[in-house]
Amino acid sequence: MAPVSLVSLGKAFGSIEAVRDIDLEIADNEFVVLVGPSGCGKSTTLRMIAGLETISRGELRIGETVVNHLSPGERDIAMVFQNYALYPHMNVAQNIAFGLRHRNLSRAEIKAAVLDAARLLDIEALLDRRPKALSGGQRQRVAMGRAIVRRPKVFLFDEPLSNLDAKLRAQMRIEIKRLHQRVPTTTIFVTHDQVEAMTMADRVVVMNNGVIEQVGTPLDVYNKPATRFVAEFIGSPSMNFFDGTLEAQGEDLVFRIGNGRALPVPRARGSAYSKHFGKRLTLGLRPEALSVSDASDFTIEVETKVVEPLGVETIVYFDLAGHPASVRAAPNRAPRAGETVPLSFDMTFMHLIDPEDGSVIPY
């Protein structure tokens, strides 16, 4: 229950800069997800906030206090680890109560607090068990109970769901969200899974190579990615990319892709893109901006490679002008693999990316 600010935060392991220039203001009770590929520095950032890793550069504040040099215990934070880190020789109740020892609470008060947390997480029946005797999901709840019982200023989660199977993971996602609603607390959640990020976050922080690529609401980063990296990392299947050039065709702009076909650029983008006229650029289109149909006045014929029926929809993979690409199709209208089909393009969802620096050209 406190805002957290990271100001030019950086971490070096010897000569390797694992994380640098992290600027982030997290509001009170906000649920922020750090997402990015493995090794991008999420855990390092989180562990600097926890106090488990020293801070090489910058300043970290929790509430009004600069905590750079406070020990983890003094920061009033709680953390859930990827492997849960439950104390194996203590039962569930003792695990949950461990963090309360320095609170000057009576036995009865501790018991009540433990019971409260257990009830919240629906693990009352497990209080006497040792961690070894719990399932993965149950351990996960105990780890959360241990965090929640202390009512800390900040919750930190480091990939807490990655050891669970898919179904349990989806379920725990919802539970963590619900918990956050019932016990509003500033939460920083680390994951490499963009679905988790999108579904859980108030704001998503996309990281890559030790720096922040973009910060925004889930829909922001989905609809208006700031960089090619974000565009590609967020969303599944991934955005389609086609190299080509921006050209004029009479009054209008077109994007000419590798095989010579020109795709019409919406008029509304004209002024935003005019500076980039004639440049080699990359066109980004999400699979849902394409459709298998000849309804529009502009279509391209492609040969389908792989067809993935997902039930609610079917993903169709194909190559276009040397680029692997995909399109979402309604299950009943999906082609078979190897078929040649017409594709329609909805260019109102287009993104243009400068291949030089990977930035998405704003419009």
Ligand X SMILES: Nc1ncnc2c1ncn2[C@@H]1O[C@H](COP(=O)(O)OP(=O)(O)O)[C@@H](O)[C@H]1O
Interface residues with other proteins (CB under 8 A) are: 50-52, 71-74, 77-79, 81, 83, 85-89, 98-99, 101-102, 130, 132-133, 146, 150
Are 64 and 3 in contact by the 8 Å Cβ rule? The answer is: no
Closer residue to other proteins, CB minimum distance, 34 or 86? 86
Q: Which residues of 116-136 are buried (b: 16+ CB within 10 A; e: fewer)?
A: ebbebbebeebbebbbeebee
CA distances from 280 to 70, 247, 361 (A): 51, 10, 13
Shortest distance, CB of residue 27 to other proteins, whole angstroms?
Answer: 22
The residue nearest ligand X at its CB is 43
SS3 content of the chain, % helix, strand, coil (to 5): 30, 35, 35
- The candidate with the shortest Cα–Cα distance to 162, out of 261, 84, 279, is 84
**Residue from 2, 6, 40, 144 in contact with ligand X (CB under 6 A):** 40
Stretch of residues binding ligand X (CB under 6 A), selected from 37-45, 61-69, 214-222, 247-255: 37-45
Shortest distance, CB of residue 18 to ligand X, whole angstroms?
Answer: 3
Q: Cα-flanking dihedrals φ and ψ of residue 195, to 5°? A: -65, -45
Q: Residue 104 touches which of other proteins, Mg ion, ligand X, none (CB < 5 to 8 A by kind)?
A: none
Shortest distance, CB of residue 219 to other proteins, whole angstroms?
Answer: 33
| Rounded-to-integer distance, Cα 168 and Cα 303, Å | 38
> Per CB under 6 A, which of residues 5..24 are in contact with ligand X?
13, 16, 18
Closer residue to ligand X, CB minimum distance, 36 or 284? 36
Q: Does 160 engage in binding with ligand X (CB under 6 A)?
A: no
Task: List interacting residues with Mg ion (CB under 5 A).
Answer: 43
| Rounded-to-integer distance, Cα 26 and Cα 324, Å | 38
Quick one: which H or E segment has residue 326? strand 323-329
Q: How many residues bind ligand X (CB under 6 A)?
A: 11
**Residue from 38, 71, 104, 106 in contact with ligand X (CB under 6 A):** 38
Q: How far is CA 171 from the centre of its chain?
A: 17
88 preceded by a cis bond (ω within 30 of 0): no
Stretch of residues binding ligand X (CB under 6 A), selected from 40-48, 60-68, 89-97, 264-272: 40-48
Q: Which residues bind ligand X (CB under 6 A)?
A: 13, 16, 18, 36, 38-44
